[in-house]
Protein backbone atom coordinates (compact mmCIF):
# COMPACT_ATOMS: atom_id res chain seq x y z
CA UNK A 1 0.00 0.00 0.00
CA UNK A 2 1.36 3.42 -1.01
CA UNK A 3 1.54 6.14 1.60
CA UNK A 4 -0.43 9.26 0.75
CA UNK A 5 1.69 12.39 0.82
CA UNK A 6 -0.07 15.06 2.88
CA UNK A 7 -0.54 18.63 1.67
CA UNK A 8 2.52 20.58 2.80
CA UNK A 9 3.08 24.31 2.50
CA UNK A 10 6.17 26.40 3.20
CA UNK A 11 5.17 29.96 4.06
CA UNK A 12 7.91 32.58 4.02
CA UNK A 13 8.87 36.19 3.54
CA UNK A 14 11.54 36.52 0.84
CA UNK A 15 14.06 38.41 3.02
CA UNK A 16 14.05 35.70 5.70
CA UNK A 17 17.54 34.16 6.11
CA UNK A 18 16.08 30.76 7.08
CA UNK A 19 14.25 29.79 3.88
CA UNK A 20 17.01 27.59 2.48
CA UNK A 21 17.45 25.81 5.82
CA UNK A 22 13.68 25.26 6.01
CA UNK A 23 13.71 23.66 2.54
CA UNK A 24 16.58 21.38 3.60
CA UNK A 25 14.70 20.47 6.78
CA UNK A 26 11.60 19.63 4.73
CA UNK A 27 13.63 17.35 2.44
CA UNK A 28 15.09 15.55 5.47
CA UNK A 29 11.65 15.20 7.05
CA UNK A 30 10.13 13.69 3.91
CA UNK A 31 13.03 11.24 3.70
CA UNK A 32 12.61 10.28 7.38
CA UNK A 33 8.88 9.78 6.87
CA UNK A 34 9.46 7.65 3.77
CA UNK A 35 7.59 10.03 1.48
CA UNK A 36 8.46 11.71 -1.81
CA UNK A 37 9.28 15.34 -1.10
CA UNK A 38 6.64 17.67 -2.48
CA UNK A 39 5.26 20.90 -1.13
CA UNK A 40 3.90 24.27 -2.19
CA UNK A 41 5.78 27.44 -1.37
CA UNK A 42 4.09 30.73 -0.61
CA UNK A 43 5.91 34.06 -0.51
CA UNK A 44 3.55 36.15 1.61
CA UNK A 45 4.53 39.33 -0.27
CA UNK A 46 3.26 38.01 -3.61
CA UNK A 47 -0.26 39.02 -4.61
CA UNK A 48 -1.16 35.44 -5.57
CA UNK A 49 -0.36 34.16 -2.07
CA UNK A 50 -3.53 33.26 -0.11
CA UNK A 51 -4.42 36.11 2.25
CA UNK A 52 -4.83 33.86 5.31
CA UNK A 53 -1.14 32.89 5.09
CA UNK A 54 -0.01 36.46 5.75
CA UNK A 55 -0.55 35.92 9.49
CA UNK A 56 2.33 33.42 9.66
CA UNK A 57 5.93 34.36 10.40
CA UNK A 58 8.77 33.15 8.24
CA UNK A 59 9.37 30.33 7.77
CA UNK A 60 6.24 28.40 8.69
CA UNK A 61 5.56 24.82 7.66
CA UNK A 62 1.94 23.73 7.42
CA UNK A 63 0.89 20.10 7.04
CA UNK A 64 -2.74 19.66 6.03
CA UNK A 65 -3.26 23.30 7.04
CA UNK A 66 -1.83 22.89 10.55
CA UNK A 67 1.29 24.65 11.79
CA UNK A 68 3.85 22.00 12.82
CA UNK A 69 4.93 24.12 15.81
CA UNK A 70 2.04 26.40 16.80
CA UNK A 71 3.27 26.88 20.37
CA UNK A 72 6.24 28.93 19.15
CA UNK A 73 4.01 31.78 18.05
CA UNK A 74 4.12 33.19 14.58
CA UNK A 75 4.33 36.96 14.45
CA UNK A 76 4.04 37.74 10.75
CA UNK A 77 6.19 40.84 11.20
CA UNK A 78 9.40 38.91 11.82
CA UNK A 79 11.27 35.66 11.37
CA UNK A 80 10.03 32.88 13.62
CA UNK A 81 12.14 31.34 16.32
CA UNK A 82 11.60 27.67 17.16
CA UNK A 83 12.80 25.68 20.15
CA UNK A 84 14.21 22.26 19.33
CA UNK A 85 14.39 19.15 21.54
CA UNK A 86 17.54 20.47 23.24
CA UNK A 87 15.75 23.75 24.10
CA UNK A 88 17.94 25.65 21.66
CA UNK A 89 16.52 28.46 19.55
CA UNK A 90 16.50 27.78 15.82
CA UNK A 91 15.19 29.59 12.76
CA UNK A 92 13.42 26.48 11.44
CA UNK A 93 10.93 23.98 12.87
CA UNK A 94 12.44 20.91 14.57
CA UNK A 95 12.83 17.90 12.28
CA UNK A 96 10.90 15.59 14.61
CA UNK A 97 7.87 17.93 14.57
CA UNK A 98 7.74 17.95 10.77
CA UNK A 99 8.19 14.16 10.54
CA UNK A 100 5.46 13.61 13.11
CA UNK A 101 3.07 15.87 11.17
CA UNK A 102 3.91 14.12 7.89
CA UNK A 103 3.11 10.78 9.48
CA UNK A 104 -0.21 12.11 10.76
CA UNK A 105 0.92 11.89 14.37
CA UNK A 106 0.55 15.61 15.04
CA UNK A 107 -2.19 16.58 17.45
CA UNK A 108 -2.34 20.21 16.41
CA UNK A 109 -5.71 21.43 15.15
CA UNK A 110 -5.99 22.38 11.50
CA UNK A 111 -5.85 26.06 10.73
CA UNK A 112 -8.91 27.71 9.35
CA UNK A 113 -8.62 29.20 5.98
Does residue 64 sit within a domain?
yes
Does residue 107 sit within a domain?
no
Does residue 89 sit within a domain?
yes
Does residue 111 sit within a domain?
no
- pLDDT at 83 (0 to 100): 75
Cα separations (Å) of 34 from 26, 65, 82, 100? Answer: 12, 20, 24, 12
Main-chain dihedrals φ then ψ at residue 82, nearest 5 degrees = -110, 155
pTM: 0.84
- pLDDT at 73 (0 to 100): 63
Does residue 112 sit within a domain?
no
- pLDDT at 110 (0 to 100): 44
- pLDDT at 1 (0 to 100): 45
Does residue 58 sit within a domain?
yes
Domain residues for the domain of 77 are 8-102
Does residue 2 sit within a domain?
no
List CB contacts of 55: < 8 A, sequence separation 6 or more: 74, 76
Does residue 84 sit within a domain?
yes
Q: What are the per-10-residue average pLDDT scores of the chain (113 residues)?
A: 82 93 96 95 94 91 93 68 73 92 69 42
Closest CA to 91 of 110, 69, 111: 69
User: How many domains are contained in the chain?
Assistant: 1
Q: How far apart are CA 59 and CA 43, in angstroms?
A: 10
Amino acid sequence: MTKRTPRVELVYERSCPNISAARDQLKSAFESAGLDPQWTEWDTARPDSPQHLSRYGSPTILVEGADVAPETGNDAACCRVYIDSESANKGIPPLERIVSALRGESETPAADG
